[in-house]
Amino acid sequence: MKPVRADGGEFPVIILTGLSGAGKSTALKVFEDLGFLTMDGLPPLVMPEMVRLFRTQKDFRHRGLTLGLDASGDDFAKQWPLALGELEAIGARPRLVYVECSAPVLMRRYAATRRPHPLEGELGLERAMEEERRRLFPVRERSELVVDTTDYSIHDLRRFLQEKWNFLKERQWGLRIYVLSFGFKHQVPTDADMVFDLRFLPNPYFDEKLRPMSGKDKPIADFVLGSDEGSEFLRHQMEYLNYILPCYAREGRYRLTLAFGCTGGRHRSVATAEAVFDSLRKSDYAVFLEHRHLDLE
């Protein structure tokens, strides 16, 4: 029997984990505000038991269940695949959400809060962070959503997760494609699977009339993608994606993040990401668009 809500709909289960200090507690609060029952610090093998428990609730009034995964146990590497197998055996297909952050920012956060890392002790903070990242790598690889909080405030993370949850629930399963624009002078997205450098395209920044606009404005899109270089790049790009995406889907890939970068992340990358997004969303894939550095100077 599948878990159900009071309205008769299916009861979604989210497993939330990630690097300590990256914002997992904040993310749990976001899902709590969205109407989910949340529980944190669960060892892997406890999660199937929690799902079984809530499957017995005939008139459960929460929107879903979000479980915070604890990776601090020495036997995590053995328990995690066993837990996944048990969840699969009972017919549960949880959504995996992974929260991460760059190492320098995590170091600054720990210095500011003066809290110990869960794996810290004889290892020291830096090695504890490396060990946690190593342990959680298999979880990250299976996650449908990877959130990099390096440049996010608490409010940014809240808005991001609210938007992403609405996106995740639109399509039940299959390959999810995340199209990002960014600026190289800020930071290359660490969650990108493929990075495309667009700094060879005509730059509207040097036109004083176009400079205040962004790639979301038609004059910028026409300037960038209406050029010979832009139109040819977009044609070849879509041919490549139309070939490669079905291959990833057949291999059972959970997500694919495509990052398009220019110098500042405002003109060329935004216009191209918008065009790629418009083309892909006409397909059968679930596609999400994010302009990571659009509003940065």
Eight-class DSSP state of 264: S
Coil, strand or helix at 208: coil
180 is known to lie in a ligand binding site? no
User: Smallest Cα–Cα separation from 79: which of 127, 45, 118?
Assistant: 45
Eight-class DSSP state of 44: G
The β-bridge relationship of strands 194-197 and 255-262 is parallel
- Under 8 Å between Cβ of 230 and 258: no
User: Smallest Cα–Cα separation from 96: which of 54, 145, 129?
Assistant: 145
Residue 130 parent element (H or E)? helix 125-142
Task: List, in sequence order, every beta strand (DSSP E) within the chain.
Answer: 13-18, 36-42, 64-69, 95-100, 145-148, 176-183, 194-197, 255-262, 286-291
Contacts for 48 with CB less than 8 Å, ≥ 6 apart: 83, 86, 87, 90, 92
35 is known to lie in a ligand binding site? no
25 is known to lie in a ligand binding site? yes
24 is known to lie in a ligand binding site? yes
Query: Rounded to whole angstroms, how far apart are CA atoms 280 and 237?
Result: 11
- In the numeric block, the tokens 């055996």 are attached to 89
20 is known to lie in a ligand binding site? yes
Residue 294 neighbours by CB distance under 10 Å? 19
Residue 232 parent element (H or E)? helix 228-250
Query: Rounded to whole angstroms, how far apart are CA atoms 290 and 265?
Result: 11
18 is known to lie in a ligand binding site? yes
The residues that bridge with 67 in the sheet, in sequence order, are: 15, 39
Contacts for 65 with CB less than 8 Å, ≥ 6 apart: 3, 11, 12, 13, 14, 36, 37, 38, 39, 50, 51, 54
Residue ranges of the binding site: 18-25
Residue ranges of the binding site for ATP: 18-25
